Structures are given as C-alpha cells and as structure tokens.
Structure 1
Amino acid sequence: MAAAPQRDVGPKSKRAVLVHRARDELIQYLAVSTYLAVCFGALIFFKAAVLGSEGIEYQRFGLALAKALILGKFVLVLERLNIGNRVKSTGVLFADVLVKALLFTTLLLVLTVAEEVIVGHLNGQSVRDVLKGFAGGTMPEVLATVVLMFLVLVPYFAYRELAAALGEATFSQLLFKRQRLKRAQRPQRR
C-alpha cells in the first residue's frame, strides 16, 4: 500500500500529531504495564500465600508494579524496533505467538539483568553480587522466573497477533461489545 503524500503541516498540526501520538503511546504503555502488573501481582500474591503458610512474611506488591512499569516500557521499545517482526513468520499463528514470546522473554531477561547490574552499580554493588541475588538467587528460581515471564507473554502476543490478523477494530469489537455469538452445535449422541 502506498503511503499518503506528505504535505506541509503547519506548527499547530505538527503539535496535534505529536500530542495524538504521545497519547496513543501512553495508552499502550498503560495497557501493557497494567496487564503485567496484574500478572506479577497475582504471582507475588501466590508467593506470599505459600510463604505465609510456612510462617514467612512476604509482601512485595510494590515490586510487581515497579517491574511491570519497567518491563512494559521495554516491551514497547522492542516492539517499536520491530524486533518480533524481523523473525520469519511460520504461517501458523500459534507458532508465531510462541516464537515472539520466546524471543521477547530472552530479550527482557537480558534487559532486566542489565537494569539490575546498573542499579546495583549505582548502589555500590559488584556485578557478581547483583547476579547472585537475581530472581531469588538460585538457579531454580531464575528458571521459574523465565518460564513465568514466557507464560505471561504468550497471551499478550496472542492478543497482539489476533488483533493484527483480524484488524484492531474487529478484534476489539469481538472482545468488548455485547453480541450474539453463534455456537457450534454439538453432535447428537445416540
């Protein structure tokens, strides 16, 4: 599809375009961050419940929000860089979702480690000390964190891929507008 011809846009129009784009990006950021905050909050609630049953107090709900805000920005930046779109499509939507989720899980892990190392450095910690405490500090906890991140990203990318395949407006209408759905009839048993 050919791009619309560029016309000279006045200062007010340029400002309006920038405001509109900033608003759209803020809405996307809040949507992604809210989704991640709900997922991370549920995981921390579960961890707190399990530890609480053993008499160990654990309440780090602020951590869920902080991580969601950071990772939400990382996700949007990676999407703006078309990172997931550079991988050749398999033609199977489910496989494409899994590939993108795996790619983004890997990249988010790398970016999170880099963020932790930078914050640790600013707080006077060595890289070794930061990595020892990363994601709980033990290999099973690190692997569990990676698996959970992957599982959180699968529905996110399923949503994104379905919206792209069906069209954003059609997909939103299917999800959020009341409508009469046709249900497939079950075969009669004899």
Structure 2
Amino acid sequence: MKILITGFTPFGNENINPSWEAVKILKAGINDENIFIKQIPTVFREAAEVVMEEADKVDADAIVAVGQAGGRASVTVEFIGINWKKTGIPDNAGNIPKGEKIKSDGEDGYISNLPVFDIVDNIKKSGVPAHVSYTAGTYVCNELLYTLMYNIKGNNKSRLAGFIHLPFIPEQVINKGEDIPSMGIDHMVNALKITIETIKEQGGI
C-alpha cells in the first residue's frame, strides 16, 4: 500500500511547522519505500494542487495530510471538510478569502474515508492524547481536506484521504504566555506511525 504523507510550510508568525517536522522524522525513522512525503505550501488552492499532483505521481493509495493547529492540546483527526474558506490572516501568498465556497458544484461537506475513529482509538492506546475533530476550520487545512475528498468522489473513488492536526511543539509556545498547550515531537511522530499502521490494517471506513 502506497501512502503519501504531507506537511505544511510555516505560516503566520511561526518559523517552524510541527506537521512537516514530524513527517520528516517519521520518514527518516522507517524503512518503507511505499511511504512518500512531501512538504506543501500554506497557500489556498496551491496546497491541494501540489498534493494531488504528487499523489498521482507516486500512485498513492492513501493520503494523510498533516497540519498545525496551534491552541489544540491533542492530536486531532479530522472527520469532515466543509465547502467554505474564510480567514482573518493571509496565507503565504497573501490571499485572505472573506467567505466563499471552495467548489461551486461541491457538496456542503465531505467526510474523510480514513478509519478516523479507529486511528484515534489506537493513538490513545499508545498513550498519546488524541481526539476526533468535527471542524478543520476554514483556512488552508480545511480547503485541502475538502478538495481531496471532492477529487476522490469525482475521479478516484478508491483512494483514501484524510487530515490530521498537530499541536504546537514546546519551542513554539515559550514566548506565547501561559496556558498555551504544546506536545513533544516524539508523540506526534508516534501518532503518525500508528495512523499508517491503522490504515494498512483496516483500509478505509
């Protein structure tokens, strides 16, 4: 089974993105030629285009897109992407959508076809905090998940895809004041390993 795992470039005021750091460490620590990784731009529309192009290039059976959700305290596996994009901060190309559909002919939302609940249960069993998330926001992360599922529903119905949000890593919160949660990178890498194992064992929902 070929699995593509992606992580984002840093965005906002951050100079690091834990999604890409965790993905890089994951790949370096496993000996599996069927696991592919790709760093993608934090840019509306372009992120999805890069992921889909890479998935087709490697003929991926499954895509696990990974992003940063600063402020969350656990690994959160996204259940659904919604057909809406809106942000108060620009993406890395300066785009600031004020509220519009991602796909004019798309459904209001598309549910990930990864085994979301089993992934979360298995991550928790390993001792890493994890939850199912029912909102991926309205930033680039949500647009990516929605567009991947839109593409799968229309063109490649056998492919699996989903999205996982990771918290800040400790070095990102040092100067952010009190009560900002973070998680060690080792826990994040472990969560991604378990995600891969679960997908290989169970396939989609």
| TM-score computed with the length of structure 2 as normaliser | 0.28
Structure whose CA Rg is larger: 1
Structure having the higher helix fraction is: 1
Which protein has the bigger strand share?
2
TM-score normalised by structure 1 residue count: 0.30
